[in-house]
Structure 1
Amino acid sequence: MKKVSIIDVARQAGVSVSTVSLVLRQKGKISDATIEKVQAAIAALGYVHNVAAANLRANTSNLIGLILRDFSDSFSIKVMASVVQELEKQGYMVFLGQPLDDHAHLERCLLSFKQQGVAGVIYLASDTRRTQLPEQIRQCPLPLVVVSQSLMEENCNLVMRDNRQAASLATRYLIERGHRSIAYIGGHEDNVIRQQRLLGFRSTLAQNGMVFREESTPACSDDTYAASIATRHLLEKNNTITALLCHSPDAMIGCITGIHQVGRTVGKDVFLTQQVALVGFEDMLHVNLTSPSFTYVSSASEETGRQAAGLIIRKLKEPELQTQRITLSGQLIARESA
C-alpha cells in the first residue's frame, strides 16, 4: 500500500504543499476554511505527520527532557504530571530521565537527551538539604528550567515554592483563631524547607507580639514514628500547646498518635484544652481522607508544573529571554483539624 504523502494531502485539499505544511506546523495566517479542508483531507487519506523528520529538516524539536530524581516525592510527581499535560497541550512531548545520582547517571541522562535531540530541559530538584544544583545541570548547554521546593542560590530559570509565606499563612491563621502556644514538628535540622518555614513562623509570631521558642520546634526523621515520639515528648513538657504546624504528611499522621498518647484529641476548638489543632503543608490524597480532615497550605504543585512548562516554551521561542525566578504561594484550605 502506497504511503500517503503531504503532496497527496495538498492535492486532496486543493491547496499548495506549503499551505499543508503551514497547517501542520500551526504557523502562518491560514483561514479557518482552509485549515478545515486540509484537516478533512488528512482524515480522509489517513496521513500521519512525521514530526521527528519535520523537526530534523527545520533544525527544531518538540521534545523536552524532564529529569525526575525521586519518584517517592509526591510534590515532584504532581509537578511532573502537570508539566506533561501542559506541554502536550502546546504540541510538545516529554522525554523522561531518572538518574540515580548526581554524577555518572546524570551525565548519561543528559547525553541521552542530547542524542534524542531534546530542545530544552526541566530539572525537578528533590534534594532538600542543598541550595545548589549538581555541576552537570549547572553546565547544561540546553535551555534549562529548574523546579525546586525551596529557594536555591543559583542564577537560573527557577520555579519554586514560597515556604516562608506558607508557614506565615498557617501561623497567622492559627493566631486569628485564638492560639497563643504554637509549635512546629518535623524535618531534619539541615532541611532547607524546614529552615525557610521556621523563618516565616518566627516572623509571624513576632509581628503578633508572641515569643519564638526553639524547644517548640523539634526536628526529627521524616517518618510517622519519629514524629509521634517528638509530639508526645513536646506535649508532655508543655501541655499549654494548642496547635502544631506539621512539616510533612508523615509528620501529620505521627502527630495524631503522639497527641492521643498524652490523652488529647485533634480539633479546632482552642477553648477545649484537650484539643490540639493541626495544620500541614501538603494537599495529598491520603491526608485528605483522614478523619478529621486536615487543614493545610496547598503546595501549588499543579500551578508549578504549568509555570515550568510555560517558562521552558518561552525560553525556546525567545532565546535571549532574561533569567526568570517565579515564586508560588500556597493557599490555606481550612478543614476539621484546625
Structure 2
Amino acid sequence: MKKVSIIDVAKLAGVSVSTVSLVLRQKGKISEATIERVHSAINELGYVHNVAAANLRSNTSNLIGLILRDFSDSFSIKVMASIVKELERQGFMVFLGQPQDDQQHLERCLLSFKQQGVAGVIYLASDATTDRLPEQLCQYPLPLVVVSQALPEQPCNLVMRDNRQAASLATRHLIERGHRNIAYIGGMENDRVRHQRLLGMHGALKQNGLALRDEFTPACLESTHSVSVATRQLLEKNNTITALLCHSPTAIIGAIGGIHQVGRTVGKDVFLTQQVALIGFEDMLHVNLTSPSFTYVSSASEETGRQAAGLMMRKLKEPELQTQRITLSGQLVIQQSA
C-alpha cells in the first residue's frame, strides 16, 4: 500500500503543500474553512504527520523537558498534571526527568534532554530548605521556567505560590471567627515555606493587635508521628489555643492525633473550649472523605501549571523576553474544620 504523503493531502484538499504544512504546524493566518478542508483530507486519507522529521527540517521542537525532583510532593504532582495538559493543548509533548538530588544525576538528565532535542525546560523545585537553584540549570542554554514554593535567590523565569498571602488569609479568617490564640504546627526550622507563612501569620495578627508567641510555632520533622507529638505537647502547655495552621497534609493528619490525645476535638466553634480549629494549605481529598471536612487555602496548583506552560510558550516565541516572575494567590475554601 502506497504511503500517504503531504502532497496527497494537498491535492485532496485543493490547497498548496505549504498551506497543509502551515495547518499542521498551526502557523500563519489560515481560514477556518481551509483548516477544516485540510483536516478532512487528512482523516479521509489516514495521513500521519511525522513531527520528529518536521522538527528536524525546521530546526524546531515540540518537546519540553520537565524535571520533577520529588514524586511524594503533592503540590508538584498536581502542577505537573496541569503543565502536561496545557502543553499538549498547545501541540507540545513532555519529556519527563526525575534526577536524584546529586549533581551527577541532574547533569545526565539535562544531557538526555539535549539529546532528545527539547525546546525548553520546566523545573519543579521541591526543596524548601534552599534559596539556590542547581548551577547546571542556571548555565543551561535553553529557555528555563522554574516552579517553586520558595523564592530562589537567582533571577529566573519563575511561577510561585504566595505563601505569606495564604497564611495571612487563613489567620484573618480565624480571627474573624473569634480565635485569639492561634498556633502554627509543622515544618522544619529551616523550611523557607514555613518561614514565609509565619511572616504572613504574624502580619495578620499584628494588624489585629495580637502577638505571635514563639512557643506557638513549634518546628518538627515532616511525619505524622512527629507532628502528633508536637501538637500534644503544644496543647498540654497552652490549653488556651483554639486554632492551628497546619504546614502540610501530613501536619493535618498528625495534628488530629495530637488533638485527640489531649481529649479535644476538631471543630470551628471557638465557644466550645474542647474544639480546635484546623486550616491547611492544600486540598486533601483523601482526608475530606471523613468528617469533619477541612478548611484550606487552595494551592492554586492547576493555575500554577497553566502559567508555567504559558510562560514557556512566550519564551519560545520571544527569546529576548525579559525575566518574568508570576506570584499566585490562593483562595480560602471554608469547610467544617475552621
Question: What TM-score, normalized by structure 2, do the two folds share?
Answer: 0.98
Q: Which residue of 2 aligns with 1:72?
A: 72
Q: CA offsets, 1:294-335, max 9 Å, x none? A: 001111111100000000000000111110000011111000
Structure 1 position 261 matched with structure 2 position 261: yes
Whole-Å separation in 1 of the counterparts to 2:33 and 2:193:
54
Q: Which residue of 1 aligns with 2:2?
A: 2
For 1:282-321, list aligned pairs within 5 A. Answer: 282-321=282-321
Q: Which residue of 1 aligns with 2:324?
A: 324
Whole-Å separation in 1 of the counterparts to 2:238 and 2:8:
80
* 1:101 Cα deviation after fit: 2.2
Matched letter for residue 90 of structure 1: Q
Matched letter for residue 197 of structure 1: R
Contact kept, 8 Å, 1:10 with 1:17, in 2: the verdict is yes
Q: CA offsets, 1:248-267, max 9 Å, x none? A: 11111111111111111111
Q: CA offsets, 1:39-62, max 9 Å, x none? A: 111111100011111111111111
Higher deviation after alignment, 147-156 or 118-127: 147-156
* 1:36 Cα deviation after fit: 1.8
* 1:29 Cα deviation after fit: 2.1
Q: Which residue of 1 aligns with 2:276?
A: 276
* 1:35 Cα deviation after fit: 1.7
Q: Which residue of 2 aligns with 1:182?
A: 182
Whole-Å separation in 2 of the counterparts to 1:252 and 1:102:
31
Contact kept, 8 Å, 1:107 with 1:136, in 2: the verdict is yes
Q: Which residue of 2 aligns with 1:121?
A: 121
Q: CA offsets, 1:231-261, max 9 Å, x none? A: 1111111111100111111111111111111
* 1:67 Cα deviation after fit: 0.3
Whole-Å separation in 1 of the counterparts to 2:304 and 2:14:
44
Whole-Å separation in 1 of the counterparts to 2:85 and 2:92:
10
Matched letter for residue 201 of structure 1: M
* 1:31 Cα deviation after fit: 2.1
Whole-Å separation in 1 of the counterparts to 2:262 and 2:310:
49
Q: Which residue of 2 aligns with 1:45?
A: 45
Matched letter for residue 43 of structure 1: N
* 1:32 Cα deviation after fit: 2.1
Matched letter for residue 24 of structure 2: L
Q: Which residue of 1 aligns with 2:32?
A: 32
Structure 1 position 163 matched with structure 2 position 163: yes
Q: Which residue of 2 aligns with 1:198?
A: 198
Whole-Å separation in 1 of the counterparts to 2:29 and 2:238:
70
Contact kept, 8 Å, 1:266 with 1:275, in 2: the verdict is yes
* 1:102 Cα deviation after fit: 3.7
* 1:212 Cα deviation after fit: 1.3
Whole-Å separation in 1 of the counterparts to 2:205 and 2:310:
37
* 1:30 Cα deviation after fit: 1.9
Whole-Å separation in 2 of the counterparts to 1:249 and 1:38:
50
Higher deviation after alignment, 144-153 or 282-291: 282-291
Aligned residues: 338
Structure 1 stretches lacking a partner, 5+ long: none
Counting aligned pairs with the same residue, the percent is: 81
Whole-Å separation in 2 of the counterparts to 1:217 and 1:105:
36
